[in-house]
């Protein structure tokens, strides 16, 4: 089992950053909200927490998708090198939970 956690200031988020770190599916989710920054911070912290679990800094943020089910609950979809790395670590599933206050977003990721 491996665990990763990350927090980030929501005020540091921007649309420019969103365009850099997100896939089309992720942008579709974030663009539903009037105030996008907390949701951009969710993506950022989620991806950073996944990278901590995978233990490889060179993995691209675009190979880690944070998506949402019909209830709004986030889940992780790994692509390319990120997916390969999970298998190399003998980990079969990866779970995420995200929270944000007015100022800070935090994500925790657990894989086993």
Interface residues with ligand COA (CB under 6 A) are: 38-39, 42, 71-74, 98-100
Cβ proximity to ligand COA, 35 vs 90, nearer residue:
35
Q: Find the shortest distance in angstroms from Cβ 40 to ligand COA.
A: 8
Q: Find the shortest distance in angstroms from Cβ 99 to ligand COA.
A: 3
Cβ proximity to ligand COA, 68 vs 81, nearer residue:
68
Cβ proximity to ligand COA, 57 vs 69, nearer residue:
69
Strand partners, 78: 64
Q: CA–CA distance from 82 to each of 28, 61, 71, 85, 106 (Å)?
A: 22, 9, 26, 5, 21
Cβ proximity to ligand COA, 38 vs 63, nearer residue:
38
State the Cα–Cα distance between residues 10 and 17, nearest whole angstrom: 12
Q: Find the shortest distance in angstroms from Cβ 97 to ligand COA.
A: 6
DSSP secondary structure string for all residues of 39-58: HHHHHHHHHHHHHHHHT-TT
Taking only Cα atoms into account, the Rg of the chain, rounded to an integer number of angstroms, comes to 13
């Amino acid at each position: 089992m491996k665990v990763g956690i990350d927090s980030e200031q929501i005020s540091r988020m921007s649309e420019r950053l969103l365009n850099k770190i997100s896939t089309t599916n992720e942008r579709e989710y974030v663009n539903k909200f009037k105030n996008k920054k907390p949701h951009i911070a969710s993506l950022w912290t989620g991806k950073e927490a996944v990278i901590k679990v995978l233990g490889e800094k060179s993995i691209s943020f675009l190979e880690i998708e944070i998506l949402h089910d019909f209830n709004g609950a986030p889940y992780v979809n790994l692509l390319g090198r990120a997916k390969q790395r999970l298998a190399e670590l003998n980990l079969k599933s990866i779970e995420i939970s995200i929270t944000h206050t007015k100022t800070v977003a935090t994500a925790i990721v657990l894989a086993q």
